[in-house]
Amino acid sequence: MEAPRTVGAVGVGNMGGAMAARLLKHGWAVQVCDIDTVKVQALQALGARPCATPAEAATGASALVICVVDAAQAREVLFGANGAVHGLAAGAGVLLCPTIAPQDVEAFARELAERGFAAIDTPMSGGPARARDGSMSLMVACEDAVFEQHRALVEMLSGKVFRISQRPGDGARTKLVNNLLAAINLGGAAEVLAMAQRMGLDLPTTLAVIQQSSGQSWIGTDRMSRAIEGDYVPRAHVSLLQKDSRLAVEAARAAGFEGPLGPAARDLFQRAGDAGLAQLDDAALFKLLSQS
């Protein structure tokens, strides 16, 4: 049998950890690095090799999956004193999975290319359960030759691969479009459920009606089902859509477009963050609005 291909993974939280677990389940060799040693140990129990630095996680890997929070973390992982570029072999691919600004993706892609590495702009959507079972979406922007080289890895991670373009940065743009709509939909769902509560309506019944009617959205149903139970244990923190909606509005302005709803959603998530809800599940928008 063919020897398992080796993949490095830096940032193995909810999404990165689920992706690494999926690769391990299907026989890939995975080298993991994260500042949270508990998360590394959980994957070690599944067969991953723990690594102290991104450079170590990248050593001997045909590709490196980066799944951190923001561009600053991604830059440190890639180019810091113990960054992945000090361990990657020439020609290795780097999957950039965080939701970050398109210009940051473009800058990383240029800097990686100068060092002989291939950037794969690969933002994701779907949550940890879908990452673990391979049903999440991946939005992939890279040169065709790079995609073909790493097709097996990309398609192992996701059964819903969207080839956006050959230009790194376009994956990030697509993800920001999606996430801004998610923020708008979630803000709307939280608002109408808070309104229904103030009107004295039964919330589970109201949500059941919405779920089967024209107001339905996946994120609204998913989050408000938890919110009306008072469950704000974080699956996706408020801080993530707070960041993403801000980045999306900035990207829209850079393209010469400004709509009415994006800034409103951005401001709502900023308000939630300012209210001390940033580390709760983003269902906490209902908590914010129901107390208004």
* Active centre residues (catalytic): 175
Task: Quickly tell me which residue has 């909810």 as its tokens.
Answer: 14
In 3-state terms the chain splits into helix, strand, coil percentages (rounded to 5) of 55, 15, 30
Packing angle, helices 203-211 and 170-198, rounded to 10: 140
Query: Rounded to an integer, what distance in angstroms lies between the CA atom of residue 175 and that of residue 284?
Result: 22
> What does each C-alpha distance from 247 to 21, 80, 243 come to in angstroms?
29, 24, 6
Sort strands 29-33 and 49-50 into parallel, antiparallel or unpaired. parallel
Backbone φ and ψ of 30, nearest 5°: -125, 130
Sort strands 63-66 and 160-165 into parallel, antiparallel or unpaired. unpaired
Pull the structure tokens for residue 52: 């102290």
Between the two ends of the chain, the Cα-to-Cα distance in Å is 62
Query: Rounded to an integer, what distance in angstroms lies between the CA atom of residue 190 and that of residue 55?
Result: 43
Residue 64, C-beta contacts closer than 8 angstroms, at least 6 positions apart:
7, 8, 9, 10, 54, 57, 58, 84, 88, 92, 93, 94, 95
* 50: β partners: 32
